[in-house]
Amino acid sequence: MNDDLIVPIYVDTNVLLDLLASIEGGFTVVEKVTTRTATTSNSDKSLSLQSGTEFGIPNVLSLLKINLGGSLSSKTGEEMGKQTESERYHTYGSLLHRLRSHLDNEKITRRLKDQESWDAIQSSEFIEVRGIFHPNPLADALQIIDRLMGLIHLFAGTQGNLPADKKKSNLDQKEIGNFSKFVKGIIADLEKENIRTFVVDLIAPPMHKAVLSLFVEYLRDPTMTEIAHKEYCVLGKVVRKISESEEDAIDLLRGTGLGGIGKQAIEQMATALQIQGMNLPKIETAIKGPALEIVPIAIFV
């Protein structure tokens, strides 16, 4: 029962409804519930007759003694009934439960537990995995730097109001502003308006990862504070599998302007962003195997 009581954090409602409609041949999110209660009282009356013949006087001129037979019964009753109707609405959470139950009953969903279960995974299969969700490492690092630049810009502004002999630094607000615009421009290129990339460190098997692209409109918390760096389950479909022995990798810059820059230039920029004293995530622009690329249907806990 605990596995059924899930809290959805992300639900791709279009995919969810399409799958349920395909499974059930169409469905409704509203069900009519009818309840009927009845009270019955009965009374029975019966009359019994036996049929047959009995010989009376035992001689040649014997007469027949006849006992008329049969049965007669009567039954009366009365019934009082009460019927009520109500409507039950399904939420996306209850529809997700219905979909997971169907997939489990049909033994369609694969769950990662060990290396053996990993080896059995094929592309296009339904899969359910658990792991720690991390935002796109490069975008996450740049957002931290951008927020820091905002604080430095604010601090520089307060310094400008102090007497010259009390100024603690000669921070150039114009340079800070230009660098902040540069960082914001890279972030805008990495993250489309309504899509965010997440890298999941899988709990099992260890050292395995998954990459997801999430639509912001389907997140319960559009700021992504709720999902970032926390452990959740994801139900989805595998669209790519990369083994540890493969040289290929999942490119996190695919479809961005930075994706057209050479690998060496990207590495130099990543090194430059590793500012001493700052607690930035490890900057990665590609995820090597063993890794999965998954189209998520739902994320829940």
E-only strand ranges, the chain: 8-11, 30-49, 52-55, 64-67, 70-89, 110-111, 126-135, 195-202, 209-215, 231-242, 249-251, 286-288, 291-300
Q: Categorize the per-residue pLDDT at 125 as very low, low, confident or very high, splitting at 50, 70 and 90.
A: very high
pLDDT of residue 68: 38
Q: Write down the pLDDT at residue 276.
A: 58
Q: Name the residue with higher pLDDT: 35 or 52.
A: 35
pLDDT > 90 fraction of the chain, expressed in percent and rounded = 42
Lowest mean pLDDT: which of 41-45, 97-101, 188-192, 212-216?
41-45
C-alpha triplet 137, 139, 141: angle, nearest 5°: 70
The pLDDT of 240-256, averaged and rounded, is 90
Distances (CA, A) of 248 to 37, 204, 288: 66, 22, 7
Q: Is pLDDT larger for residue 161 or for residue 59?
A: 161
Q: What is the pLDDT of residue 146?
A: 84
Q: What is the widest separation between alpha-carbon atoms in the chain?
A: 155
The residue written with tokens 């962003």 in the block is 273
Instruction: Name the phi and psi angles at 300, rounded to 5.
Output: -155, 170
Three-class DSSP labels, 198-251: EEEEECCCCCCEEEEEEEHHHECCCCCCCCCCCEEEEEEEEEEEECCCCCCEEE
Q: Which of 82-86, 88-92, 225-229 is the least confident region?
A: 82-86
Residue 46 clears pLDDT 60, i.e. is over it: no
What would the mean pLDDT of 177-199 be, rounded to a whole number? 86
Which pLDDT band holds residue 85 (cuts at 50, 70, 90)?
A: confident
Q: 80: pLDDT confidence band, cut at 50, 70 and 90?
A: low
pTM: 0.72
Query: How many angstroms separate the CA atoms of 252 and 207, rounded?
Result: 18
pLDDT in tens, 283-297: 888 999 999 999 999
* pLDDT higher than threshold 60 for residue 244: yes
Q: How far is CA 19 from the centre of its chain?
A: 13
The residue with greater pLDDT, 99 or 262, is 99
Give, to the nearest 10 degrees, the angle between helix 263-273 and helix 137-159: 40
Label residue 63 exposed, middle or buried (CB < 10 Å: 0-12, 13-18, 19+): exposed
Instruction: Tell me which residue of 163, 135, 146 sits closest to 282, measured CA to CA.
Output: 135
Distance in angstroms (rounded) separating the CA atoms of residues 193 and 206: 33
- What is the torsion angle, in degrees rounded to the nearest 10, for the CA atoms of residue 180, residue 185, residue 189 and residue 191? 40
pLDDT at 281: 74
